Amino acid sequence: MIGTFAFVTTLLIQPQMNQVEFQVQNRGSFVFTLDRTAAPNTCAHFQSLVEQKVYNGMLWHRKVNNFVLQTGDPDSKSMLPEEARRLPGENGGTSGLGENTFGKPIPFEKSPMSHLKGTLGIALESPGDNSGSSHFFINLADNKRLDGKYVAFAKVTEGWDVIEKCQRGDLILSAKMK
């Protein structure tokens, strides 16, 4: 009960900034807009992670062409981009990355947003479970089969060309609320 109260209190006192900018080394920057109507708790959680600078220094640890680009493993901060590129893993990932998260998991939140090209979703251990934390993905194509199973919470509004250039192992220099 105390944890729920603290989470709700955090939601109420956080400023309602809706745009997030990611700067990727040698690629450029892109912006996405949080949809607080579709997924208010997920957006508040994500904003908190950005404000804590969780994503600064992380690598994009997974890319599956025509599917997703993914980050969120804090262990990637201790790996150099070239090292990550030399260590391909399963399902488009990087060997040794993709298992750890930052922070406590948040409850699953059913979102009315569809997983269309350019939307962002929270990665989960299993569809619809309460394991969402720091891992998220950008849909590189329409992935409606993920609807109702993974929380869609934002949409890319600027810099799609940067996302298309991103590769597994690319370094996120910074993430900030705009």
61-103 pLDDT per residue, tens: 999 999 999 999 999 999 999 999 999 999 999 999 999 999 9
Which tokens sit at 12?
């109420």
Confidence of residue 109 (pLDDT cuts 50, 70, 90): very high
Selection from 128, 129, 122 nearest residue 101 by Cα: 122
Dist CA 98 CA 118 (whole Å): 21
For residue 176, list its beta bridge partners: 21
Q: What is the predicted pLDDT for the residue at 15?
A: 54
Confidence of residue 58 (pLDDT cuts 50, 70, 90): very high
Confidence of residue 16 (pLDDT cuts 50, 70, 90): low
141-156 pLDDT per residue, tens: 999 999 999 999 999 9
The answer to whether 42 and 112 are in contact (CB under 8 A) is: no
Which tokens sit at 91?
């399902």
Please count the other Cβ atoms lying within 10 Å of the Cβ belonging to residue 67: 16
- pLDDT at residue 12 is higher than 90: no
- According to CATH, what is the number of the domain 18-177? 2.40.100.10
Average pLDDT across the chain, whole number: 93
Domain ranges of the chain: 18-177
DSSP state of 146: G
